Structure 1
Amino acid sequence: MKRTHLPLNALRVYDAAARHLSFTRAADELAVTPAAVGQQIRALEDHLGTVLFRRTSKGLELTEEGLAGLDALREGFLKFEESVQSMQAGQASDRYTIAAPREFYAQWLAPRLAAFRNANPGIRFRFVADENADFTETNLDVAVRLVDGPGELEGIELAPARRVVVAAEGAPDLWIDWPGAPLPEGADAAIEVGNAGQALSSAVAGMGKAILPYLLVEDALEDGRLATLEGPDEGRRAYWLVAPLPQWRQKKVKSLVAFLTD
């Protein structure tokens, strides 16, 4: 059976205006203007073909038609809220599906997720190798991406956007080029690789020097596998933890974000 189209936003405005018997107070509750409330009410009256409010010397009053459907409407909103709560309760709060670049996972993310799991026994992880995977198709909770901002997603920088030129001791003065870090003007690349992880491995192997995110090479610098040639300097791209707004609002995602950014 085909369902009737319901103007839910206008009905929500109508409910607020009916409770307050004031477009102004309804507007305050809904964080809109009184004019916007009035427009929604007029549109709803046009849709229903009836008048819901009348103005009197005492103020705003509901008509008989306006009163007639009010109880059922409010019961319906309560059902909506119960439905949303049921869907939220059904979320697997102990399971995370995460997409991240492999090199970032190995160098930075894995030990921190291990610590997070130690603090939250029973947590389960599923990892997706493609950090640009579609959130819906892969049921992702969050992704880590090397980008210059979250774009249309919600997100937070895991560390400031800094880059550094690094090389292993005794490495030749040759550039290792990868798509995420353009070489200085006039520089020739002796080695071309496909991503930051391959550039890091090439630099650690002593094949040349590379421009890499500081966050990615921090451990290699500390343990002496790499040395700093230039920088660290401010960069354009950083590792961002991102997710669509519905996932970002989940309690389990908020908990993970808080742990990783503490």
Structure 2
Amino acid sequence: MKRTHLPLNALRVFDAAARHLSFTRAADELAVTPAAVGQQIRALEEVLGVVLFRRTSKGLELTEEAVAGLDPLREGFLYFEESVRAMQAGQASHHYTIAVPRDFFAAWLGERLSGFRDANPEVQFALVDGEASDFTEANLDLAVRWSEGPGELEGIMLGNAELVRICAPGQVLQGDVPLIYWQGQPEAAADGAMLSVPDAGQALAAAAAGLGVAEVPSLLAEKWIAEGRVAQWGDPLPSRRAYWLVAPVPQWRQKKVKALVAHLGQA
């Protein structure tokens, strides 16, 4: 089959219908009607000379022929996306747009980006505040998120999944210890807290000021502990969450992103 004759639009419809096993949900994703999805599937079946879906009492099922072609098809779409991004990058091949929480940038990431730029003086960075920034809307290359894992994205964990309890150096802790709560903690941790702050960075600063004890990510506190700005109280605590460096597969495969990920993963 000549490349110019590849039914790309019909293949895209097939991918959506195969993921949802529903023409209706595929139509919603693609912003078309279910009838249009059915028409594209029938046209694709005619071109390929195979049946792709069977209707059963439980709904749609993929045929063996359809299953055999799905993985290569999806791999091909990923390469299409990567190709488009590579063509769009142009002069921006050394420009990084990163979504990162402010406190994490101040405590850990900023210093490491500086080290990366020392070795790659041509690079430029644009930072977007917030963990929930959309990759497409913000045109992100990477994001740092405080989460239980990468989810549907590719990612690596930065540091360990643990919290440390910190307080002001020399602070005497007796009786009811005043607790500092920040919004990335489970809500149950807010019970009895003396102070509530928006993020772990402010919890760290509040503890350094002698306002109480805070449980913050160890990666965030390690420099302050080493400098004697705060003292660690007790042993580290396991955490379900950690800082994750994440991106969708097409971005993750880019050469420039791989280079920065490798640098940060070793830092």
TM-score between the two structures when normalised by the length of structure 1: 0.67
Q: Which stretch shifts more, 146-155 or 186-195?
A: 186-195
Partner of residue 117, structure 1? 117
Compared CA separation, residues 134 and 186, structure 1 to 2 (3 A): closer
Alpha-carbon distance, 1:196 to partner: 1.0
Pairing 1:174–2:175 present:
no
Q: Which stretch shifts more, 210-219 or 193-202?
A: 193-202
Task: Check conservation: 2:82, 2:250, Cα contact below 8 A.
Answer: no
Partner of residue 235, structure 2? 231
Compared CA separation, residues 185 and 215, structure 1 to 2 (3 A): closer
Task: Check conservation: 1:167, 1:203, Cα contact below 8 A.
Answer: yes
Distance 1:85 1:140 in 2: 17
Q: Deviations over 1:233-252 (max 9, x none)?
A: 22111000011111111111
Partner of residue 133, structure 1? 133
SS for the counterpart of 2:133 is coil
Partner of residue 164, structure 2? 164
Correspondences of 1:20-35 after superposition (within 5 Å): none
Pairing 1:106–2:106 present:
yes
Alpha-carbon distance, 1:215 to partner: 0.4
Distance 2:106 2:215 in 1: 19
Alpha-carbon distance, 1:178 to partner: 1.5
The amino acid that maps onto 2:163 is: R
Distance 1:46 1:183 in 2: 52
Q: Which stretch shifts more, 176-185 or 208-217?
A: 176-185
Alpha-carbon distance, 1:90 to partner: 3.7
SS for the counterpart of 2:93 is coil
Partner of residue 215, structure 2? 211
Distance 1:132 1:174 in 2: 31
Alpha-carbon distance, 1:188 to partner: 1.4
SS for the counterpart of 2:183 is coil
The amino acid that maps onto 2:103 is: E
Task: Check conservation: 2:182, 2:197, Cα contact below 8 A.
Answer: yes
Partner of residue 6, structure 1? 7
**Whose Rg is larger?**
1
Q: Is there any run of 5+ residues in structure 1 with no aligned partner, and where? A: 11-42, 52-80
Alpha-carbon distance, 1:89 to partner: 4.1
Q: Deviations over 1:198-238 (max 9, x none)?
A: 11111111111001100000011111111111221221110
Alpha-carbon distance, 1:86 to partner: 6.7
CA-based RMSD of the aligned residues comes to: 3.0
Partner of residue 47, structure 1? 46
The amino acid that maps onto 1:198 is: Q
SS for the counterpart of 1:217 is helix
Compared CA separation, residues 210 and 44, structure 1 to 2 (3 A): same
Moved over 3 A (4+): 7-10, 43-46, 48-51, 81-87, 182-187
Distance 2:190 2:80 in 1: 63
Compared CA separation, residues 188 and 89, structure 1 to 2 (3 A): same
Distance 2:213 2:250 in 1: 42
The amino acid that maps onto 1:191 is: L
Task: Check conservation: 2:179, 2:212, Cα contact below 8 A.
Answer: yes
Distance 1:192 1:106 in 2: 20
Task: Check conservation: 2:96, 2:126, Cα contact below 8 A.
Answer: yes
Distance 2:82 2:251 in 1: 14
Sequence identity of aligned pairs in percent?
Answer: 46
Task: Check conservation: 1:163, 1:231, Cα contact below 8 A.
Answer: no
Compared CA separation, residues 241 and 50, structure 1 to 2 (3 A): closer
TM-score between the two structures when normalised by the length of structure 2: 0.66
Q: Is there any run of 5+ residues in structure 2 with no aligned partner, and where? A: 12-41, 51-78
Partner of residue 88, structure 1? 86
Compared CA separation, residues 87 and 156, structure 1 to 2 (3 A): closer
